[in-house]
Structure 1
Amino acid sequence: MIRLQHISKIYESGGQQTAALREINLHIKPGDIFGIIGHSGAGKSTLIRHINLLERPTTGQVVVDGVDMTALSYRKLQEERRSIGMIFQHFNLLSSLTVKENIAFPLRLAKLPQDKVQRRVKELLGLVGLESHADSYPSQLSGGQKQRVGIARALATEPKVLLCDEATSALDPQTTQSILSLLLAINRRLNITIVLITHEMQVIRSICDRVAVLDGGVIVEEGAVADVFLKPQHRTTRDFVAQVADLSEMDVPGDRSPGSRTRVRITFIGEQTYEPVLYETMSEMNVPFAILQGTISRLKEIPYGQLVVELHASGNEAAQTIAALQSRGLDVEVLTYE
Structure 2
Amino acid sequence: MIELRHVQKQYQSGSHTTYALHDIDLSIEQGEIFGIIGHSGAGKSTLLRSINLLERPTAGSVVVDGVELTALSTKQLQEQRRRIGMIFQHFNLLSSATVEENVAFPLKLIKTPKAEVNQRVRELLELVGLTEQSRKYPAQLSGGQKQRVGIARALATNPHVLLCDEATSALDPQTTNSILSLLLDINRKLRITIVLITHEMHVIRSICDRVAVIHQGRIIEQGPVAEVFLKPRHEVTKQFIEQVADSIDFRDEKLSPDSTILKINFLGESTYEPILSRVVQETGVTFSILQGTISRMKSTPYGQLVVKIEGPRQAADDTVSLLIERGLDVEVYEHGLG
Whether TM exceeds 0.5 here: the answer is: yes
Is the CA contact (8 Å cut-off) linking 1:211 and 1:223 kept in structure 2? Answer: yes
What residue in structure 2 maps to residue 297 of structure 1?
295
Moved more, 157-166 or 324-333: 324-333
Aligned CA distance change for structure 1 residues 108 and 255 (closer, same or farther; 3 Å): closer
Contact 1:34 1:210 (8 Å CA) reproduced: yes
- Map of 1:14-33 to 2, 5 A cutoff? 14-33=14-33
Residue 62 of structure 1 aligns with an amino acid whose one-letter code is V
Corresponding residue of 1:174: 174
- The one-letter amino acid paired with 2:267 is I
Q: Equivalent residues in 2 for 1:1-338 (5 A)? A: 1-247=1-247, 250-252=248-250, 255-338=253-336
Spell out, residue by residue over 1:150-178, the C-alpha distance to the aligned partner (whole angstroms, 9 max, x if none). Answer: 00000000000000000000000000000
Conserved? CA contact 1:98–1:136, under 8 Å? yes
C-alpha deviation, 1:13, in angstroms: 2.0
Judge which range, 255-264 or 43-52, deviates more.
Answer: 255-264
Q: Specify the SS of the correspondent of 2:236.
A: helix
Aligned residue type for 1:243: Q
Structure 1 residue ranges, 4+ long, deviating more than 3 angstroms after superposition: 252-255
Distance 2:331 2:170 in 1: 38
Secondary structure, aligned partner of 1:30: coil
**What are the Cα deviations for residues 125-166 of structure 1, in whole angstroms up to 9, with x where unaligned?**
000000000000000000000000000000000000000000
Task: Compute the TM-score of the two structures, normalised by the length of structure 2.
Answer: 0.98
| Identity across matched positions, percent | 64
Displacement of 1:252 after TM fit?
3.2
Distance in 1 between the 2:117 and 2:255 partners? 73
1:315 offset after TM fit, Å?
2.7
Partner SS, residue 222 of structure 2: strand
Gaps of 5+ in 1: none
- Cα deviation, 1:285-319, whole Å, max 9, x if unaligned, reads 22111111111111111111111111112432211
SS at match of 1:169: coil
C-alpha contact 1:296 1:306 (8 A) present in aligned 2: yes
Whether contact under 8 Å (1:254, 1:292) holds in the other structure is no
Query: Is contact 2:284–2:315 with CA below 8 Å preserved after alignment?
Result: no
8 Å CA contact 2:107, 2:117 repeated in 1:
yes
Take 1:168 and 1:313, find their aligned partners in 2: how far apart are those partners? 48
Whole-Å Cα distance in 2 between the matches of residues 67 and 189 of structure 1? 25
* Range moving further from structure 2, 70-79 or 306-315: 306-315
Instruction: Give the CA deviation at 1:14.
Output: 3.3
CA contact (8 A) 1:261 1:312 kept: yes
